[in-house]
Amino acid sequence: MSGRIEPGKTVGMEVSIAQAEVVAQCDVDCIAAYPITPQTHIVEHLSEIVAEGDLQAAFMPVESEHSAMSACIGMSAVGARTFTATSSQGLALMHEMLYIASGLRLPIVMSCVNRALSAPINIWGDQGDIMAERDTGWVQIFTENGQEVIDQTICSFKIAEDPRVSLPTIVNMDGFQMSHVIEPMVFYPTAKIRDFLGVFQPLQRLDPRAPAMFGPVGIPEIYTESKKAHDVALLNSQAVIEEVWARFAKEFGRQYAAVETYQTEGAEYLLVTIGGLSETASVAIDELRAAGRKVGQLRLRLWRPFPAAAVRQALAGVKGAIVFDRCLSVAGTGGPAATEIKAALYNEPVRPTIVGFIGGLGGRDVTVGDFRAMIEKGIGYIDRGDAPLYELVGVRE
Amino acid sequence: MNEVNLGVYAARLLPQEELFTQGHRACQGCIPALMLRQITKATGRDLIVCNATGCMEIISSPYPYNAWRVPWIHAAFENAAAVASGVSAGIEILKKKQRFFHDRTNKIAVMGIGGDGGTMDIGLQALSGALERGTDFFYVCYDNEAYMNTGIQRSSATPMGASTTTSPVGKADPAGQTTWKKNFAEICVAHHIPYVATACPSYPFDLMRKVKKAAAVNGPAVLHIFAPCPTGWRCEANLGIRLGRLAVESGVFPLYEVVDGKYTINLDIDAIKKSVEDPAAELAKYLFQQGRFRHLRTKDELLAQIRERLRQDWTELKAKAEK
């Protein structure tokens, strides 16, 4: 978009910059954003693209993330393709408005650069911010590298704006370890992306020619039905998401799935990961496989709607799964992914043992060796049947 | 001023069409609801309303009922101005991209609206942001001087001495509200926006003229509208209009407008002068028809402070208008 990208060629670029470029390629109409580390490069670069005249869009620098999401709601409600990006405290400040954006069924796309929540204040990678927004009713997708950020950003507009979905969508990437890393990526021709997406056609908009009411009072006689409709829409979105990914694969050549598998053939133990550390974990899997261990990996790409059936299917027949969460649910029953996977399996007649490890908090590095050690320790718990509810790894004593 | 001189026949010149319609659930004698009729008669149909949570939101929108014949959005409490910013920016860019109302030449006015709590307290940041950015919209703060929707709790717009459910009169604290009302219009003027005005539904033609002006302005405009709430002010339901008149005539809520920084006092200047020079009578008429001020009858010292503050505020405003 800015003339820096050459479609079809592999280029080295910071992932944040790449996301801004691809958002511009998607022909967004409106952006409202407030700066917060480590999201800043995305919105800075978008404002630059708009200022240079390479994208015809309204870039609104607002006075808080709460107002950013509020402005996005107004923008989307008049029928504008709308984007924002945030992190951590910013996402937490938006919390109230996230429910309202999804409740009003407005297909806003948001990049969430996952970062730890205060206190203590910490600007580094951690998924505690997004996990606190699990129940906000948005489609939530995780990525593992720059190429996936490009691809999923494109898909997110397509998913969100599909009239069968009409729900806001979050694309997650790990703070710094993805957002600030220069990676090799391939861009697609702008015309091809715009053809894939089409022009946003809202189901309803604020239009004086046909006055409609957005956000009325939901009295007890209607609130439950309204929530049911939201639940059904988000559950049903999975089929549309998979359809979009299939079409994306056909047009652009890369296939995605709600739950992705790696080295699972004949695996007795599976490591389950979400987000950017998944690639590091894959190296650990490779090493253990080379040493003859029957281990494989599941990567959760789709977090909301939770792909319960796909998770059950992927875990059927294994002895146990070791789930790695980059988020601590303080004094709860485990990390968010581990507890949800357990819940999805609970009523299965035969179910694998689930071991939950939590680590990588606030930017703490998790190495290939750490994953290897977790897998070995997890296998021990599974074989002996003495797994704790959850275990925080990498704590300095 | 011309509309006022049309006198009793002027009402017949107003649009018959009601865009804020009957059937809403406002209390008997609700002045903010009357204000919405006046506002929408002034704007006509080319209006998008961004309503903060509050009385006017809940009484007009209990699904499946809808009292509005214009497009309307309610998101949350503190952010009507931010939502309106988004609506305004969305319209502007879609027009540029030739994807919105390309068949219409009329300006679509965008109105943010909230009560005094939703504006002067929790919504002040969002409003300040929208004004500072030069958003093309107008914002209405309908000020009934407390959180009426949640049950008459004090806000920063509650006047000195008023009893509310969170500034009650007690043995240890006999005054009620112990702080002065925030000067909201001045906060808006300090943003150097093109248009700020105060208005009151007791003066419908003045109010409607100001709404038309605010809607037509390119850039931000703010209307601070004094909107008596008989329920919250603990008075008879038929007194709202009368109390609005008395508030203006006594100098409690002068009607003025600030166009590009230039102040004009609009109405009842002589009455205000008379009241401020000898305020006891006019002010007492205003205060003591309301239950929220009943306890002040015996508080001579506080009444004197209120009178002195009134005189000071009037002197300051007059000086600005004469500059």
Residues B100-131 have pLDDT tens digits of: 875 667 889 999 999 999 999 999 999 999 99
Share of chain B above pLDDT 70, in %: 95
**Arithmetic mean of pLDDT over chain B:** 93
**pLDDT tens column, A117-141:** 999 999 999 999 999 999 999 999 9
Phi, psi at residue B265, to the nearest 5°? -85, 130
Which DSSP symbol is given to B11?
G
Identify the pLDDT of residue B23. 87
- Residue B61 and residue A100: Cβ atoms within 8 Å? no
pLDDT at residue B262 above 70? Answer: yes
Identify the pLDDT of residue B12. 81
Interface of B with A in 260-289 (CB under 8 A): none
Q: What number of H helices and E strands is found in chain B? A: 13, 8
B102 part of contact set with chain A, CB < 8 Å: no
B126 part of contact set with chain A, CB < 8 Å: yes
Mutate which of B94, B100, B106 to test chain A, going by most A C-beta atoms within 10 A? Answer: B94
A190-197 and A220-252 helices, crossing angle to 10°: 140
- Please indicate, yes or no, if residue A177 is contained in any of the structural domains: yes
Closest CA to B134 of B80, B213, B76, B81: B81
- Residue A217 and residue B63: Cβ atoms within 8 Å? yes
Share of chain B above pLDDT 90, in %: 84
- Please indicate, yes or no, if residue A267 is contained in any of the structural domains: yes
- Please indicate, yes or no, if residue A27 is contained in any of the structural domains: yes
B288-299: average pLDDT: 96
What is the reported pTM?
Answer: 0.97
**pLDDT tens column, A224-271:** 999 999 999 999 999 999 999 999 999 999 999 999 999 999 999 999
Min Cα separation A208/chain B (Å): 6
pLDDT at residue B321 above 60? Answer: yes
B260: left (phi over 0), alpha (psi -120 to 50) or beta: left
**A248 and A379 part of one domain:** no
Q: At residue B156, what is the residue type?
A: S
Identify the pLDDT of residue B1. 45
Lowest mean pLDDT among A353-362, B34-43, B174-183, B264-273: B264-273
Min Cα separation A69/chain B (Å): 8
**A31 and A136 part of one domain:** yes
Min Cα separation B58/chain A (Å): 6
B288-302: average pLDDT: 95
Lowest mean pLDDT among A42-56, A81-95, B278-292: B278-292
A206 part of contact set with chain B, CB < 8 Å: yes
* B293 vs B275, residue with greater confidence: B293
Q: List all residues 6 or more positions away from B131 whose beta carbon is below 8 Å from its beta carbon.
A: B81, B139, B188, B191, B193, B220, B222
A30 part of contact set with chain B, CB < 8 Å: yes
Beta bridge partners of A30: A58, A82
Identify the pLDDT of residue A4. 72
Mutate which of B70, B79, B92 to test chain A, going by most A C-beta atoms within 10 A? Answer: B79
**A175 and A194 part of one domain:** yes
Identify the pLDDT of residue B237. 97
Identify the pLDDT of residue B277. 73
Mutate which of B85, B99, B103 to test chain A, going by most A C-beta atoms within 10 A? Answer: B85
**A234 and A87 part of one domain:** yes
Q: List all residues 6 or more positions away from A321 whose beta carbon is below 8 Å from its beta carbon.
A: A269, A270, A271, A272, A298, A315, A341, A352, A353, A354, A355
B213-237: average pLDDT: 98
B53 part of contact set with chain A, CB < 8 Å: no
Q: CA dihedral in degrees (B150, B155, B158, B162; nearest 10)?
A: 60
Count of structural domains, chain B: 1
- Please indicate, yes or no, if residue A373 is contained in any of the structural domains: yes
**A144 and A210 part of one domain:** yes
B305 part of contact set with chain A, CB < 8 Å: no
Closest CA to B277 of B321, B314, B318: B314
Lowest mean pLDDT among A7-21, A275-289, B7-21: B7-21
The order of strands in the sheet holding B221-226 is A213-214, B72-74, B47-51, B109-115, B138-143, B221-226, B195-199, B256-259, B262-265
Range of the domain at A264: 259-392
User: For A103, which residue in chain B has the nearest alpha carbon?
Assistant: B75
CA-CA distances (angstroms) from residue A299 to A151, A184, A274, B113, B274? 17, 21, 6, 47, 78
> Of the candidates A229, A252, A275, which is a domain's last residue?
A252
Classify residue B323 by burial, with Cβ atoms within 10 Å: 0-12, 13-18, 19+: exposed
> Of the candidates A252, A280, A312, which is a domain's last residue?
A252
Q: Do B207 and B225 touch, CB atoms closer than 8 A?
A: yes
A224 part of contact set with chain B, CB < 8 Å: no
**A281 and A202 part of one domain:** no
CATH number assigned to the domain comprising residue B156: 3.40.50.970
A35 part of contact set with chain B, CB < 8 Å: no
Mutate which of A30, A59, A78 to test chain B, going by most B C-beta atoms within 10 A? Answer: A78
Q: Looking at the partner chain, which of B47, B75, B92 has a beta carbon nearest the beta carbon of A73?
A: B75
Closest CA to A271 of A334, A328, A330, A314: A314
Interface of A with B in 143-202 (CB under 8 A): 199
Min Cα separation B226/chain A (Å): 25
A217 part of contact set with chain B, CB < 8 Å: yes
**A245 and A345 part of one domain:** no
User: For A223, which residue in chain B has the nearest alpha carbon?
Assistant: B63
Q: Looking at the partner chain, which of A61, A73, A211 has a beta carbon nearest the beta carbon of B83?
A: A73
- B57 neighbourhood in chain A, CB within 8 Å: 217
B226-249: average pLDDT: 96
Identify the pLDDT of residue B5. 57
**A194 and A305 part of one domain:** no
- Residue B83 and residue A58: Cβ atoms within 8 Å? no
A197-215: average pLDDT: 95
- Please indicate, yes or no, if residue A123 is contained in any of the structural domains: yes
CATH number assigned to the domain comprising residue A280: 3.40.50.920
Range of the domain at B60: 2-322
With bands split at pLDDT 50, 70 and 90, how would you rate the model's confidence at A211?
very high
Lowest mean pLDDT among A1-5, A181-185, A344-348, B53-57: A1-5
B132-140: average pLDDT: 98
B107 part of contact set with chain A, CB < 8 Å: no
pLDDT at residue A83 above 60? Answer: yes
**A241 and A370 part of one domain:** no
- Residue A74 and residue B70: Cβ atoms within 8 Å? no
Min Cα separation B122/chain A (Å): 12
Identify the pLDDT of residue B9. 67
Identify the pLDDT of residue B7. 58
**pLDDT tens column, A4-28:** 789 999 999 999 999 999 999 999 9
- Please indicate, yes or no, if residue A4 is contained in any of the structural domains: no
Count of structural domains, chain A: 2
Complex-level ipTM beyond the 0.85 threshold:
yes
A218 part of contact set with chain B, CB < 8 Å: yes
Closest CA to B119 of B157, B165, B161: B157
Distance CA B60, CA B220 (A): 26
**A187 and A328 part of one domain:** no
Min Cα separation B200/chain A (Å): 27
CATH number assigned to the domain comprising residue A159: 3.40.50.970
**A172 and A289 part of one domain:** no
Write down the residue that tokens 């006047």 correspond to.
B159
Identify the pLDDT of residue A245. 98
Q: Looking at the partner chain, which of A64, A74, A76 has a beta carbon nearest the beta carbon of B50?
A: A74
Q: CA dihedral in degrees (A218, A220, A225, A227; nearest 10)?
A: 70
- Please indicate, yes or no, if residue A3 is contained in any of the structural domains: no
Q: List all residues 6 or more positions away from A239 whose beta carbon is below 8 Å from its beta carbon.
A: none
Identify the pLDDT of residue B267. 81
Identify the pLDDT of residue A46. 98
pLDDT at residue B232 above 80? Answer: yes
Q: Do A155 and A245 touch, CB atoms closer than 8 A?
A: yes
- Please indicate, yes or no, if residue A1 is contained in any of the structural domains: no
B226-246: average pLDDT: 97
User: For A64, which residue in chain B has the nearest alpha carbon?
Assistant: B126
> Of the candidates A219, A252, A285, which is a domain's last residue?
A252
**A225 and A300 part of one domain:** no
